Chain A
Amino acid sequence: MLSKLLKYEFRDTARVIPFFYLIIVAFSIMALTAKQIGLEWFIVTSSILLIVTGASLIVITFVVIVMRFYKNLYSNEGYLMFTLPVKPKQLLASKAIVAFTWIIASFLVFIGALCVSLYSLGVDSSDLSSIISEFKKYGLEKAIYIIIPLMLLSILYFLSQIFFSITVANTPAFHSMGVGAGFLVFFATYVILQIVQSVVTVFIPLSLEINLIGNVSVSLSNKNMFGFFVESIKGIEPTSITIGLGGYLFVVIMICVLFYVTGRLMNKKVSLR
Chain B
Amino acid sequence: MSKIIEISSLQKKYGSKLVLNNISLSFESGTIVGLLGPNGCGKTSLLKILTGLINDYSGSVLIDGSIPNEYTKSIVSYLPEKTYIAENNKAKYALDFFEDFYADFDRKKAEEMFKQFKLDPEQKIKSMSKGMQEKVQLILVMSRKAKIYLLDEPLGGLDPASRKAMLDIILNNYSEDAIVLLSTHLINAVERIFDRVIMVGGTKILVDDTVDNIRQTTGKSVEELFEEVFKC
Contact flag (A, B; Cβ within 8 A) = yes
Interface residues in chain A, defined as those with a beta carbon under 8 Å from any beta carbon in chain B? 1, 4, 7-8, 12, 72, 76-80, 82-87, 172, 267-269, 271-272
Q: Does B53 have its Cβ within 8 Å of any Cβ on chain A? A: yes
Closest to B71 in A: A85
Interface residues of B in 57-101 (CB under 8 A from A): 69-71, 73-74, 76, 78, 80, 82-86, 97, 100-101
Q: Which of A84, A86, A172, A268 contacts B14 (CB 8 A)?
A: A172
Closest to A12 in B: B86
CB neighbours of B84 from chain A (8 A): 76-80
CB neighbours of A86 from chain B (8 A): 70, 73, 101
Query: Are A87 and B53 neighbours in the complex by a CB distance under 8 Å?
Result: no
Residue with the highest number of chain B CB atoms closer than 10 Å, among A1, A12, A80, A269: A80
CB neighbours of B15 from chain A (8 A): 172
Encode B121-137 as 1/0 by CB contact (under 8 A) with A: 00000000000000000
CB neighbours of A268 from chain B (8 A): 55-56
Q: Does B54 have its Cβ within 8 Å of any Cβ on chain A? A: yes
Query: Are B100 and A85 neighbours in the complex by a CB distance under 8 Å?
Result: no
Complex CA distance for A129 and B74, rounded to whole angstroms: 59
Closest to B102 in A: A85
Complex CA distance for A83 and B52, rounded to whole angstroms: 7
Q: Does B11 have its Cβ within 8 Å of any Cβ on chain A? A: no
B-side interface size class: 20 to 34
Query: Are B101 and A76 neighbours in the complex by a CB distance under 8 Å?
Result: no
Query: Are A8 and B97 neighbours in the complex by a CB distance under 8 Å?
Result: yes
Closest to A90 in B: B70
Query: Are A84 and B82 neighbours in the complex by a CB distance under 8 Å?
Result: no
Known: A4-B101, A77-B86. A82 touches B53 (CB 8 A): yes
CB neighbours of B31 from chain A (8 A): none
Interface residues of B in 1-60 (CB under 8 A from A): 14-15, 51-56
Complex CA distance for A83 and B70, rounded to whole angstroms: 8
Report the minimum CB–CB distance from B17 to chain A (whole Å).
11
Query: Are B53 and A79 neighbours in the complex by a CB distance under 8 Å?
Result: yes
Query: Are A83 and B51 neighbours in the complex by a CB distance under 8 Å?
Result: yes
CB neighbours of B14 from chain A (8 A): 172
Report the minimum CB–CB distance from A17 to chain B (whole Å).
15
Complex CA distance for A233 and B76, rounded to whole angstroms: 67
Known: A4-B100, A8-B97. A82 touches B52 (CB 8 A): yes
